Amino acid sequence: DGGITQSPKYLFRKEGQNVTLSCEQNLNHDAMYWYRQDPGQGLRLIYYSQIVNDFQKGDIAEGYSVSREKKESFPLTVTSAQKNPTAFYLCASSMTASPVYGYTFGSGTRLTVV
Amino acid sequence: GNSVTQMEGPVTLSEEAFLTINCTYTATGYPSLFWYVQYPGEGLQLLLKATKADDKGSNKGFEATYRKETTSFHLEKGSVQVSDSAVYFCALSKDFGNEKLTFGTGTRLTIIP
């Protein structure tokens, strides 16, 4: 079955560490997105990529980095510069850069700073 | 710019009650409209969508009608179940340019037996 796989499901980070969240899709979708969700809040866009080897900052990109070397993969690195990284992270994809058909989401990664 | 406004939650209903979650939007032209559902600890799942005015999206007993005259896409269900407890997000997208999906803030729904 086609879909988006996020791993790990739970991740613990020590202060000052960088961590990388994985997002892989086998839907042959062109565009991919990373969102952050905090308790009781909506979705905030971190980064998005509409084509391989290209990506743009979203609304809250500071302290995060991404790469898009392959169509199927869009990993997110949470750097030590991100002061409050504890959150639920969601990866999504859409068929084209113009998401008239909506997004497909992964099941999320919950990141906790310890 | 585009925006989506949802009714504030949380919403608590008894099982078999009628559900309405209000959603209104601001956008130029003719956006596509969506409802997503998020169960505890999970990602978002597409619940239903409508791509043009007067279209009705439906799935799992939920319905929403695209009303351009009132710029609304209210979610309804005639008889809710405990398993419908989740967070519901309204969203819109435009069909040209490099537009991204615009989400509402979500409405938490709890159904009590």
pLDDT in tens, B37-86: 999 889 999 999 998 899 999 999 999 999 999 999 999 999 999 999 99
A97 contact B CB<8A? yes
Say whether pLDDT at A40 is over 80: no
Q: Helix (H, G, I), strand (E, B), or coil: what is residue A90?
A: strand
Q: Are strands A10-13 and A109-113 parallel, antiparallel or unpaired?
A: parallel
Q: How confident is the model over A41-70, as a mean pLDDT? A: 94
Retrieve residue A42's tokens. Answer: 């909506």
Residues A1, A111, A73, B32: what is their CA dihedral angle, to the nearest 10 degrees? 70
Q: CA torsion sign, A27 to A30 to A36 to A37?
A: negative
> Residue B2 CB: number of other CB atoms within 10 A?
17
Say whether pLDDT at A1 is over 70: no
**Minimum-distance CB partner of B46 among A4, A102, A106:** A102
Q: Which residue of A has its CA nearest to B51?
A: A100
Residue B54: CB partners within 8 Å, gap ≥ 6? B65, B66, B67, B68
Rounded to a whole number of angstroms, the distance from the CA of B74 to the nearest CA of chain A is 18
How far from each other are the two terminal CA atoms of chain A, in whole angstroms? 36
Residue type, B12: T
β-pair partners for B26 = B3
Rounded to a whole number of angstroms, the distance from the CA of B11 to the nearest CA of chain A is 13
Ramachandran assignment for B50, one of left (phi > 0), alpha (psi -120 to 50 degrees), beta (any other): beta
What is the C-alpha to C-alpha distance for residues A76 and A63, in angstroms, rounded to an integer?
11
In which band, very low, low, confident or very high, does the pLDDT at A95 lie, cut at 50, 70 and 90?
confident
Q: Which residue of A has its CA nearest to B10?
A: A40
**CA dist B6 → A83, B39, B59 (Å):** 30, 18, 20
Q: Which of A48, A82, A99, A36 is nearest to B93 (CA)?
A: A99
β-pair partners for B10 = none
Across A25-39, A99-113, B10-24, B84-98, least confident range: B84-98
Please classify residue B29 by burial: count the beta carbons closer than 10 Å to its beta carbon, then call 0-12 exposed, 13-18 middle and 19+ buried.
Answer: exposed
A77 contact B CB<8A? no
